[in-house]
Structure 1
Amino acid sequence: MSSLENFKELGVHKDLVKGLKELNIITPTAIQKEVIPLLLTTDTDLVGQAQTGTGKTAAYGLPLLHRIDPSQKVVQGLILCPTRELSQQVAKQLFRYTKYTEKIFAEAVFGGPQIDRQINALRRPTHIVVATPGRLIDLVKRKAVDLSHVKTIILDEADEMLSMGFKKELDEILGFLTSAENTWLFSATMPHGIKQIVNQHLSPEAHKIQVSSDVVNKNIDHQYLICEEQDKFHILMQFLRTQKEKRGIVFCRTKAATKKLAKQLQAKNIAADAIHGDLLQKERDKVMRAFKKENLQLLIATDLAARGLDISDLAFVLHYQLPDKDEYYTHRSGRTARAGKKGLSLALCTSAEVKQIRFYEKKLNIGFSQVREV
Structure 2
Amino acid sequence: MNLFTETNLSPEILKAVGDLGFVSPTEIQKQTIPFISSDIRDLIALAQTGTGKTAAFSLPILDMIDDGSRKIQLLVLCPTRELCLQITKDIKNYSKYLPNIKTTAVYGGSSIMEQIRSLKEKPQIIVGTPGRVIDLINRKALDFSEIHWLVLDEADEMLSMGFKDDLETILSETPETKQTFLFSATMNKEVERISKNYLTKPHRISVGSINEVKKNISHEFYVVGYRQKKEALKRLIDANPNQYSIIFCRTRMETQEIADFLMQNGYAADALHGDLSQAQRDTVMKKFRLKNIDILVATDVAARGLDVNSLTHVIHYSLPDDPEVFVHRSGRTGRAGKDGISMALIKPEETRKLKQIKSVTKIDITEKQIPTGDEIIKAQVEGVFERLFTEHEDFFTFDDALIPDLSEFSKEELVHKLLQLQLRDLSMFYKDKKDLAAHKLSDERDVPSSRSERRRDERDGRRGDRDGGRDRGGKPRRKNDNMTRFFFNLGKRDNLKKVDMLDIINKATKKARKRPDIGDIEILEKFSFFEVEKDFTNEILNNLSSMKFKGKEMRAEEAN
TM-score, scaled relative to structure 1: 0.93
CA distance change for structure 1 residues 268 and 61 in 2, over 3 Å: closer, same or farther? same
The runs of 5 or more residues in structure 1 that have no matched partner are: none
CA contact (8 A) 1:153 1:180 kept: no
Q: Residue 264 in 1 paired to residue 261 in 2?
A: yes
Measure, in 1, the Cα distance between the counterparts of 2:189 and 2:212.
19
Partner of 1:347, secondary structure, is: strand
Match of 1:291 in 2: 288
Measure, in 2, the Cα distance between the counterparts of 1:302 and 1:269.
22
Measure, in 2, the Cα distance between the counterparts of 1:271 and 1:134.
34
Measure, in 1, the Cα distance between the counterparts of 2:365 and 2:23.
32
Measure, in 1, the Cα distance between the counterparts of 2:327 and 2:212.
6
- Which among 304, 328, 335 is matched to residue 332 of structure 2? 335
TM-score, scaled relative to structure 2: 0.63
Measure, in 2, the Cα distance between the counterparts of 1:23 and 1:237.
39
The runs of 5 or more residues in structure 2 that have no matched partner are: 372-560
Q: Residue 21 in 1 paired to residue 18 in 2?
A: yes
Cα displacement string for residues 236-280 of structure 1 (whole angstroms, at most 9, x for unaligned residues): 223323433331111112222222221221122111111122211
**Larger deviation, residues 356-365 vs 108-117:** 356-365
Measure, in 2, the Cα distance between the counterparts of 1:211 and 1:244.
33
Measure, in 2, the Cα distance between the counterparts of 1:20 and 1:341.
23
Match of 2:273 in 1: 276
CA apart distance, 1:210: 1.3
CA contact (8 A) 1:47 1:184 kept: yes
CA apart distance, 1:146: 2.1
Aligned CA RMSD, in angstroms, stands at 1.9
**Larger deviation, residues 153-162 vs 238-247:** 238-247
CA distance change for structure 1 residues 180 and 129 in 2, over 3 Å: closer, same or farther? farther
Measure, in 2, the Cα distance between the counterparts of 1:216 and 1:197.
27
Measure, in 1, the Cα distance between the counterparts of 2:349 and 2:364.
19
Match of 1:312 in 2: 309
Match of 2:478 in 1: none
CA apart distance, 1:216: 7.0
Partner of 1:82, secondary structure, is: coil
CA apart distance, 1:137: 1.4
- Which among 197, 217, 241 is matched to residue 213 of structure 2? 217
Partner of 1:305, secondary structure, is: helix
CA contact (8 A) 2:144 2:173 kept: no
Partner of 1:24, secondary structure, is: coil
Match of 2:198 in 1: 201
Cα displacement string for residues 119-175 of structure 1 (whole angstroms, at most 9, x for unaligned residues): 011111311100111211111111112222210000001111111111111112112
Partner of 1:251, secondary structure, is: strand
**Larger deviation, residues 87-96 vs 364-373:** 364-373
CA apart distance, 1:190: 1.1
CA distance change for structure 1 residues 256 and 215 in 2, over 3 Å: closer, same or farther? farther
CA distance change for structure 1 residues 24 and 231 in 2, over 3 Å: closer, same or farther? farther
Partner of 2:314, secondary structure, is: strand
Where do 4+ consecutive residues of structure 1 move more than 4 Å?
none
CA contact (8 A) 1:87 1:131 kept: yes
Larger Rg: 2
CA contact (8 A) 2:13 2:63 kept: no
CA contact (8 A) 1:150 1:179 kept: no
CA apart distance, 1:176: 2.1
Cα displacement string for residues 44-85 of structure 1 (whole angstroms, at most 9, x for unaligned residues): 210111122211111111112112122212211000101111
CA distance change for structure 1 residues 177 and 116 in 2, over 3 Å: closer, same or farther? same
| One-letter amino acid of the counterpart of residue 296, structure 2 | L
Cα displacement string for residues 333-363 of structure 1 (whole angstroms, at most 9, x for unaligned residues): 2322234433221101123323322211221
Aligned pairs for 1:109-258 (under 5 A) are 109-204=106-201, 206-214=202-210, 217-218=213-214, 219-258=216-255
Measure, in 2, the Cα distance between the counterparts of 1:239 and 1:212.
28
Structure possessing the higher relative contact order (Cα contacts under 8 Å, 6 or more residues apart): 1
| One-letter amino acid of the counterpart of residue 61, structure 1 | S
CA apart distance, 1:179: 4.1
Partner of 1:282, secondary structure, is: helix
* Aligned residue-pair number: 370
Match of 1:302 in 2: 299
- Which among 363, 366, 371 is matched to residue 363 of structure 2? 366
CA apart distance, 1:235: 2.9
CA contact (8 A) 2:274 2:302 kept: yes
